Amino acid sequence: MDAERAVIAQTIANVVRDALISQAPKSRRQSPERSETENAPVPNQFKPEEIGFFDPELDQGLGDGDIISIGKELWMRNVFVFIQRIKDVTALKGSEVVRTNLPTCLRGAAQRWYSDELNDRDKITLSRWYTALAKRFRENPMVATRKLNEVRYTRQDIRNGVTPGSYIARVS
């Protein structure tokens, strides 16, 4: 399914690129006199800010929760939130572009993991990335169970306007 999406996304990107090139003024179109390097298609642009930055050990003093805005940047502590962001951007940019640039989104402990622990085989596809990220950075099941047992969604929460989504965020 991911391979099909990637092919579709790449096809759409190529069609859009070709349409933009054909609409550009003749002076800006590629000419036969230019070198092959100049005529090479421009790869899809990707900025790490489009996904955000993942640092599972991000300082708690910067804010509570799994997702924190620092200036214009989105920072994530929760690996599953980060994986979902990757999937969202992949649907727009294509898996190859995202996979190739994904290391630029890692910070702190995640960057050290990528540099020191992640093997080349797990870097081949995004599905391998997802598995490796989740395996390495998921919360310890004992800690998750304790958190689940400590947090309750009560009638008082409902009266106080606490949404079920907020409750889930406290648990995760």
* Residues 153, 133 share a domain: no
CB burial class (10 A; 0-12, 13-18, 19+) of residue 31? exposed
* Residues 144, 86 share a domain: no
Rounded to whole angstroms, the Cα distance separating 101 from 123 reads 11
Domain that holds residue 90: 2-138
* Residues 112, 58 share a domain: yes
Place of tokens 């391979």: 3
Query: What DSSP state is assigned to residue 57?
Result: T
Give the whole-number percent of the chain exceeding pLDDT 70: 69
Whole-prediction pTM: 0.61
| Residues 113, 55 contacting (CB under 8 angstroms) | no
Long-range Cβ contacts of 33-38 (<8 Å, 24+ apart): none
Give the whole-number percent of the chain exceeding pLDDT 90: 30
* Residues 23, 82 share a domain: yes
* Residues 67, 125 share a domain: yes
* Residues 167, 103 share a domain: no
* Residues 129, 155 share a domain: no
Rounded to whole angstroms, the Cα distance separating 73 from 53 reads 8
Q: What is the pLDDT of residues 52-73, one digit of tens each?
A: 999 999 988 898 888 899 999 9
* Residues 37, 121 share a domain: yes
Query: What DSSP state is assigned to residue 150?
Result: H
**Domains contained in the chain, number:** 2
* Residues 145, 132 share a domain: no
Q: What is the pLDDT of residues 80-137, one digit of tens each?
A: 999 999 999 999 889 999 998 999 999 999 999 999 998 888 888 899 999 999 999 9
* Residues 47, 27 share a domain: yes
* Residues 125, 45 share a domain: yes
